[in-house]
Amino acid sequence: MASDSPSSGRRLNVNNINPHVKAAKYAVRGELAVKSEEYRAYLQAGLSDLPFSEVISANIGNPQQLDQKPITFIRQVLSILENPLLLQKKDVLIDHLGYKTDVIERAEKLLKVVGSVGAYSASNGVPAIRQSIAEFLERRDGFPASQADIYLSAGASSGVNTLLHVICQNEKTGILVPIPQYPLYTASLSVLNATCVPYHLDESKNWGTDLAVLKESYERAKADGVDVRAIVIINPGNPTGASLTEEDIRSVIEFARQERLVILADEVYQTNVFIGEFISFKRMLRQMQKEQPGAYDNVELASLHSVSKGMVGECGHRGGYFELVGFDPEVQQEIYKFVSIMLCAPVIGQCLVELMVNPPKAGEPSHELYQKEYNAIFDGLKERATALHKAFEQMEGVECGTPQGSMYLFPTINLPEKAAQAAADEGRTPDEFYCMRLLEATGVCVVPGSGFGQKDGSLHFRTTFLAPGTEWVGSIVKFHKEFMDKYR
């Protein structure tokens, strides 16, 4: 290619930039997503020779791009934070715009501690918002939490980036990452030139954590001279949708204690749980510390949360936080310095975190509507998950466990040999090939399993169940039948 040659004159080309950036892969926004956006622009321009009339972006957990409406209480408070002059007309807000008194009070309270949302906050976030998060964690887990251990971030992704930056010492540093995984982890480790140590989740047990497999991955990496020092757990799972049992969580903590591994618990889907209840790593660690005093004191845990998922679904605001448990104070200082370089997380996003962890309480004026909206979103997601799952059950060669949580289904697809051959002819993996044909035929954009990692020989795709209606589900079923007929 032209750019390889120094004669192109440019200083930077794809062969002399940062090789670790080049090596990073991020399929969630890769070729398929780009192509789907082209189709969308094409349709918006009024062109109509495509076999579908709408693009369904089921490739990314982006609720408000699809059907989900923002929660009224949250957005009313944010509107006042953006324009505090509205507080000079409280009567208009109440009488003419339907703002409840608790909306106004919350906005006043936040403005008092934030100042202007246009000002930088402390690097680790507004102290009073960290305090509110700590109180939420105490209510959630039944154990103390301290604002000093909480760091606001621009979504959980930015928190993961911070933690991996600090933890990874050099290319020998190994981080245990579940397979399949959200590709933020492998991409960040690529950029950092650290070592990803994959461990496979057990599809036969609803994508649970198989301790024997985990140990084997760990021992193999250690034997190869890798300094394995942390383990990533995504619970509820992405892309798997799995919700871990108490037993699974306990065994991971026990393993981390034995092998001195820092636990990175990605818990952004903690309210997206359809079966059972969410159990936080923090709660379980404190529980185990209580049961066996002294035994788990040295376990280091970082737990991440976000406003992007759950019923809040405010991805575009880039709000999130992480809590550190058991970290060395000097290491925390380095984390503080690292986040300082980027100054602070978006302040309006920080306020949104506060609204998420401290919603209107029973008896407060906004509570009823809040609860109604919240429940409707939850029920809608569960219904859609169930409907999609039902469709998958009817599809030839498709296997998919009962939806447990998060925003995704991750079915296995057993494709005919002829499809694999056609894929190879195109230079694609069979799952990529399948997803590309699906997009071209239906406008539905999903992500091939290879973007998350999967066992050799197995094929999957990840789809969100956020899109409304049943038409798009029907179009997947129809496509699948035709695909199988063609390549059988």
Contact 415, 434 (CB under 8 A): yes
Q: What is the dihedral of CA 113, 115, 120, 124, to 10 degrees?
A: 0
Near a copy of itself in 302-321, by CB under 8 A: 313-318
Q: According to the binding rule CB under 8 A, does residue 179 interact with a copy of itself? A: no
Near a copy of itself in 148-177, by CB under 8 A: 154-155, 157-158, 161, 165-170
> Measured from the CB atom, is 162 or 206 closer to a copy of itself?
162
Number of residues that bind a copy of itself (CB under 8 A): 100
Q: Applying CB under 8 A, which of residues 35, 42, 50, 79 lies at the interface with a copy of itself?
A: 79
What span, in angstroms and rounded, lies between the C-alpha atoms of 64 and 61?
A: 9
Residues 6 or more apart whose CB falls under 8 angstroms from that of 296 comprise 253, 257, 285, 288, 289
Tell me which DSSP letter residue 304 carries.
E
Residues 6 or more apart whose CB falls under 8 angstroms from that of 293 comprise none
Q: Residue 83 Cβ, how far from a copy of itself at the closest point, in Å?
A: 4
- Letters for 188-217 (x = contact with a copy of itself by CB under 8 A, - = none) are x--x--------------------------
Near a copy of itself in 245-264, by CB under 8 A: 260-262
Q: Applying CB under 8 A, which of residues 311, 344, 385, 436 lies at the interface with a copy of itself?
A: 344
Buried b (16+ CB within 10 A) or exposed e, 46-78: eeeeeebebbbbbbbbbbbebebebbbbbebbb
Q: Residue 263 Cβ, how far from a copy of itself at the closest point, in Å?
A: 10
Contact 214, 202 (CB under 8 A): no
Q: According to the binding rule CB under 8 A, does residue 353 interact with a copy of itself? A: no
Q: According to the binding rule CB under 8 A, does residue 341 interact with a copy of itself? A: yes
Q: According to the binding rule CB under 8 A, does residue 10 interact with a copy of itself? A: yes
What span, in angstroms and rounded, lies between the C-alpha atoms of 316 and 303?
A: 21
Q: Applying CB under 8 A, which of residues 128, 179, 348, 369 lies at the interface with a copy of itself?
A: 348
Q: Residue 360 Cβ, how far from a copy of itself at the closest point, in Å?
A: 16
Stretch in the footprint of a copy of itself (CB under 8 A) among 330-338, 379-387, 424-432, 436-444: 330-338
Q: According to the binding rule CB under 8 A, does residue 432 interact with a copy of itself? A: no
Buried b (16+ CB within 10 A) or exposed e, 133-169: bbebbeeebebebebebbbbbbbbbbbbbbbbbbbbe
Q: Residue 106 Cβ, how far from a copy of itself at the closest point, in Å?
A: 14
> Measured from the CB atom, is 3 or 292 closer to a copy of itself?
3
Stretch in the footprint of a copy of itself (CB under 8 A) among 72-80, 242-250, 274-282, 354-362: 72-80
> Measured from the CB atom, is 92 or 376 closer to a copy of itself?
92
Length of the chain: 488
Q: According to the binding rule CB under 8 A, does residue 346 interact with a copy of itself? A: yes
Q: Applying CB under 8 A, which of residues 32, 36, 100, 123 lies at the interface with a copy of itself?
A: 123
**C-alpha dist (Å) from residue 158 to 225, 305, 378, 470:** 29, 11, 26, 35
> Measured from the CB atom, is 185 or 479 closer to a copy of itself?
185
- Letters for 32-71 (x = contact with a copy of itself by CB under 8 A, - = none) are -----x----------------------x-xxxx----x-
Residue written as token pair 């809608």: 380
Q: According to the binding rule CB under 8 A, does residue 117 interact with a copy of itself? A: yes
Structure token digits, residue 20: 């670790």
Residue 453 sits at φ, ψ, to 5 deg, of: 95, 140
116, β-bridge pairs: none
Q: According to the binding rule CB under 8 A, does residue 76 interact with a copy of itself? A: yes
Q: Residue 373 Cβ, how far from a copy of itself at the closest point, in Å?
A: 12
Stretch in the footprint of a copy of itself (CB under 8 A) among 48-56, 114-122, 385-393, 441-449: 114-122
Containing 199, the helix (H) or strand (E) segment is strand 195-200
What span, in angstroms and rounded, lies between the C-alpha atoms of 142 and 346?
A: 29
What span, in angstroms and rounded, lies between the C-alpha atoms of 401 and 412?
A: 9
Q: According to the binding rule CB under 8 A, does residue 337 interact with a copy of itself? A: yes
Please report the beta strands in 364-457, taking only residues with DSSP state E, as ranges in sequence order: 398-399, 408-409, 412-413, 444-445, 447-448
